[in-house]
Amino acid sequence: MATLIRFTPDLSDWINDNLNQGHGATDLITVMHQQKMPVATAHAIVAAFIEARLSGKPTPIDQIEVPDQNDVSDYHYTTPIFRDGNRITTTDREIRITARAQHPTLALLSNVMSSEECAELIALAKPRLSPSTVVDPLTGRDKIAGHRSSSGMFFNLNETPFIARLDQRIAEIMNMPVEHGEGIQILYYPEGAESTPHYDFLVPSNAANRASLARSGQRLSTMVTYLNDVPEGGETIFTVTGWTITPQRGNAVYFEYAHRLSSNEQHLLDQTDHASLHASKPVTQGEKWVATKWMRQRPFQSATFQQK
């Protein structure tokens, strides 16, 4: 079952114009709420526009359908990659699991990194930060993201002994081989920065994404580790289910959105969990640092690696 939300074509034009100008989802939702629209309705409409743009599909004209909580997608849930239990003992650390969800498969983790490790990652990343980019779903080219006002960088897999130790630990937590992981990405959000609702799985709507999927398969799962305590704001929110995670140093959120299947099972490989739609709320005080790891179906090969 789904709820139909109707709106005027003028609102559709206004949302598209503002997104084209780089305005964030929070700004749009705030204005819509000021015009007496319920926050939940405004949130659903803006999320639908962003989802369409990310997927390379036409944006809505005058209506959207919002699935009910228990019917968020046709995604076929299988046995999760993530392990059962309350703790994960890695080669060098014991991780505590403080909460779980099923749709999407999600876990909140504590004690993922020490304070010293978080500080070292931040110090190593600072000199290498550049404006965050996203892949344009139509062209496949990287572009500075109007909906993501952060800066970021990537470490190469096993770049140093310190990074290799973290890559190994994270792989053990995510229950995947180290070589299936993309390099750790560090994102920095200054005060006021945010990212609007998006998916981490790759949409095969352009040549670059299709080539990446052919090399390494689909992204299966994400783990976001918080590297500092954020005084106010900066929460990670799953916009379909309402899960909201407060950034706390050394803790992490893990979630899955695709099946770990062999390439000959194409009928299921195309399935991705749209309940994994998520965003980062604006940082309203202080700053936010996170370390993100994505896992692939096959050993990760970047486009640069492929050219060598």
pLDDT at 216 over 70: yes
Mean pLDDT along residues 8-19: 92
Q: What one-letter code names the amino acid at 204?
A: P
Q: Give the pLDDT confidence of 42-84 residue by residue, as tens digits.
A: 878 887 888 788 767 899 999 998 755 444 456 778 899 999 9
Q: Which of 164-168, 202-206, 279-283 has the highest mean pLDDT?
A: 164-168
214 pLDDT band, cuts 50/70/90, is very high
Task: Provide the percentage of residues in the chain whose pLDDT is more than 90.
Answer: 58
Q: Give the pLDDT confidence of 111-141 residue by residue, as tens digits.
A: 999 999 999 999 999 999 998 755 444 444 4
Q: Where are the beta strands (DSSP E) in the chain?
A: 2-6, 63-67, 87-89, 94-101, 106-110, 130-131, 133-135, 142-144, 151-154, 185-189, 195-198, 219-226, 232-233, 236-238, 244-245, 252-256, 278-280, 283-285, 288-296
- Looking at residue 282, what is its pLDDT? 93
SS3 115: helix
Q: Which residue has the higher pLDDT, 90 or 205?
A: 90
Burial class (CB in 10 A: 0-12, 13-18, 19+), 90: middle
Q: How many other C-beta atoms are found inside a 10 Å radius of the C-beta of residue 120? A: 16
Q: Which residue has the higher pLDDT, 52 or 232?
A: 232
Determine contact, residues 228/288, Cβ cutoff 8 Å.
yes
Q: Which residue has the higher pLDDT, 74 or 188?
A: 188
Give the span between the Cα atoms of 227 and 248, in whole angstroms.
Answer: 7
User: CB-based contacts of 50: which residues, under 8 Å, 6+ apart?
Assistant: 19, 25, 147, 196, 197, 198
- Looking at residue 2, what is its pLDDT? 60
pLDDT at 147 over 90: no
CA-based nearest residue to 22, from 48, 53, 44, 45:
53
Determine contact, residues 298/217, Cβ cutoff 8 Å.
yes
For tokens 């809505």, the residue is 60
- What pTM value is reported for the model? 0.76
Give the span between the Cα atoms of 183 and 110, in whole angstroms.
Answer: 21
Choice among 32-46, 141-155, 175-189 with the minimum mean pLDDT:
141-155
- Looking at residue 59, what is its pLDDT? 93
Determine contact, residues 233/195, Cβ cutoff 8 Å.
no
